[in-house]
Amino acid sequence: AFAAGTNGERKQVDNVAHRGASGYAPENTLAAFDKAVDMKADYIEIDVQQSKDNELVVIHDTTVDRTTDGTGKVKDLTFEQLRALDAGSFKGEQFKGEKIPSFDEVLDRYHGKIGILIELKAPELYPGIEENVAKELKERHLDRPQNEKIIIQSFNFESMKKTDALLPKVPIGVLTSSKAQATEQSLKAFSAYADYFNPSYGIVTKEMVGQVHSLGMKISSWTVRSQEAADFLLDMDVDAIITDYPDYVDPRK
Ligand code: G3P
Ligand code: CA
């Protein structure tokens, strides 16, 4: 996608719909992902966790309390129990009946249609989740970057090192909102296994963008929920903007 920078130039920036187009539809549901496709975003961002019976599911919080009509921890509920929940109504009655998607359902429905930025959310709670994700990608030949726009990211750096070893051709991102993890030394350490350094926008500076680029990595920043934040990141020349509102990054969308 090309977006207009405040200096009037048009720069290439990937428009990433955060948990889908979650400003407009319930986060991490097919409704939000379909909306992102309709809005011509370049990627959807999804949060992946694991059910009690080891099925990969797409949900942000480690409990179902905020976004569904159920209660409890994702890891204590079976896939069947998770699928019985209403994951749409919290955003409005018109979304009633949206379900927590399975990871394989999202891959099958969207690969080839839109890029998928996969976040492993709290992988420390789910031993073996990296292998499980790798298996699903390999089964679909989605572990080859020349075919597909697939990226895997996490706040858990050990999990990303492991994922890089399991899926050497899939781009890896490290997430942080800490300035202390953006020193030259730590950026250099990330660059040994990561392709993206993905900070919250509050810590982004032009100098940081330059350092990340000079280490051969790209930079994606989050989470845009205002036009001002989108304009700031466009000005910073980041490579991708992770936003609840894809139209803030490119008004034509
Ligand atoms: O993609 C970055 C962003 O999703 C990280 O924060 O809490 O929304 O998963 P969070
Ligand atoms: Ca996320």
ipTM: 0.98
Q: State the Cα–Cα distance between residues 182 and 212, nearest whole angstrom.
A: 9
Do 38 and 70 form a contact (C-beta atoms < 8 A)? no
Mean pLDDT by 10 residues, the chain (253 residues): 52 94 98 98 98 98 98 98 98 98 98 97 98 97 85 98 98 98 97 98 98 98 98 97 97 73
Q: What is the pTM of this model?
A: 0.96
User: So what's the architecture of 2-249 in CATH?
Assistant: Alpha-Beta Barrel (3.20)
Concerning whether 60 is annotated as a catalytic residue, the answer is yes
The preferred substitution site among 15, 18, 63, 67 for testing ligand 1, maximizing ligand atoms within 8 Å of CB, is: 18
Ligand 1 atom at minimum distance from 19 CA: 4
Kindly state if the Cβ of 223 falls inside 6 Å of ligand 1.
yes
pLDDT at 252: 74
3-state secondary structure of 185: helix
pLDDT at 145: 74
Determine which helix (DSSP H) or strand (DSSP E) holds 143, and give its type and residue range: none
Helices (H) and strands (E) in the chain, counts: 9, 11
pLDDT at 147: 64
